[in-house]
Amino acid sequence: MSGTVMSLLFMALVVTVSSVSSAKFEELFQPSWAMDHFVYEGELLKLKLDNYSGAGFSSKNKYMFGKVTIQIKLIEGDSAGTVTAFYMSSDGPNHNEFDYEFLGNTTGEPYSVQTNIYVNGVGNREQRLNLWFDPTTEFHSYSIFWNQRHVVFMVDETPIRVHTNMEEKGIPFPKDQAMGVYSSIWNADDWATQGGRVKTDWSHAPFVASYKGFDINACEFPATVSAADGARKCSSSAEKRFWWDKPTLSELNLHQSHQLMWVRANHMVYDYCSDTARFPTIPQECVHHRH
């Protein structure tokens, strides 16, 4: 991360009272299901998946704009059929959602990550790439940065996907619904590994994903306010300037653009924009998107 962005982050922590930042699980999150599949080891949290249950957690609050990061060490060994998900989502049928889904594989095969974006309840915007490292041997950071200009998915601060606001083209952009932050581990062997051809081998259970470094530096959205009031509260104005609205963060810098091009050229294995079988008419945002 550049010195400019680091200084902006520091300034945000000092002057932005509605921004929240922490690294402790219990301050930001709570188990949402299968509490007996949680293991706490100091600052480390582990979620277990066996043939009885997976597990999941959710943030205690909802947020509008900012950055969310979690460090994850994914399931070691034969993880075929499993999915470890990290995502942000609003509520309701017309919800917005930003997804990471880490798709397990047989031992020795690359782990892949699928990202997806829902806008007003409509998804089907999958991109999939093979990671350029083994995500099971050590922790790596996975982030979602969100402002009114774009949504950026980052792995160890390297952008892997950008979804740009193109409302001027008549394309809806997710900027008016507060989102919770979630993660879960579950069995999806009907589709997760090689299209469902490789099933989960329960003899390797329990499958364990490990977490640390929970960080939310974002605008907390009070449950008692309306969507319109909350959007105003979390948007910069003449009276207040939030770090995520700084001009330097309205688009990728040159280095980040080169990183994204490298990821797409060398590691992307699926892009819905190129899937003419699913989409004989190219989706509108794909026509205009620069990345």
Q: Report CA Rg, the chain.
A: 19
Q: Which residue has the tokens 């309205």?
A: 250
Nearest CA to 269 out of 71, 132, 128, 115 is that of 128
Helix (H, G, I), strand (E, B) or coil at 27: helix
Q: What is the residue whose two structure tokens read 């059929």?
A: 81
Give the DSSP letter of residue 28: H
What's the CA angle centered on 44, arms 38 and 50, to 5 degrees? 30
Catalytic residues: 97, 101
Residues linked to residue 48 through DSSP beta bridges, in sequence order = 208
Q: What is the DSSP string of 212-271?
A: EEEEEEEEEE-TTS-HHHHHHHTS--SS---GGGSGGGSS--HHHHHHHHHHHHHTEEEE
